[in-house]
Amino acid sequence: MSRVAAEHRPRHIARQRAAQALYQLQINPDTPRAVVEQFLATQDFTSVDAEYFRELVIRAGNQQEAIVNQCAPHMHIPWGQLDAMERAILALAWVELAEQMQIPVKVVINEAVELAKRFGAEQSHTFINGVLDRLARQLRALEAASLR
C-alpha cells in the first residue's frame, strides 16, 4: 500500500463503521451518541479515525430531515423505500458533501460507491453514484462542474 493510501485508511475504515452505525440506527432506533459509544466499546478502533467516525454518525444521525430534503429530489423512489444501508450511505456522504468541504467531491462519491458495493444490494452502487453526482452539482456546483 502506498504511503498516501495508508494515511487515508483510518478514514476509509471510519466511513465503513459509520455506515454500519447509521444502518443500526435505522434498524434499532437509539440516539446517535449511544450508537457511537456502543461501537467504540465493542469494536476494535485501533486503525480507525475514531473521531471522524463519531463526527459522521452524530452529524448524519442528527440531520435526517435536511438529508432527506436534499437527497429526495435526486431520487426516483421515495426515501422510505430505500434499503436501510442505501439510506445510511447517502446520509454519511451528504455530511461529507455538505459539511466537509476539504474532502473532494470525487473522494466522497468514490468512497460511497465502494461502501455500496461492499454492503449494499447488487446494483445499489449505481444508484448511489447517480444520486450523489446530482447532489454534488447542487451542494458544490463549481467543484462538481470541474469534474466533467
pLDDT digits (tens, 9 = 90+) for 18-36: 999 999 999 988 999 999 9
Domain count for the chain: 1
CATH code of the domain containing 62 = 1.10.940.10
Give me 9's grid cell. Answer: 485508511
Question: Model-level pTM?
Answer: 0.90
Cell numbers linked to 99: 459539511
Q: How far apart are CA 61 and CA 29, in angstroms?
A: 10
Enter the C-alpha cell of residue 27: 434498524
pLDDT in tens, 91-144: 999 999 999 999 999 999 999 999 999 998 888 999 999 999 999 999 988 776
Range of the domain at 8: 3-146
Half-sphere exposure of 56 (CA within 13 A, CB side): 29
103 residue type, one letter: I
Place of cell 468541504: 101
Average pLDDT over residues 36-54: 95
More confident residue, 54 or 122: 54
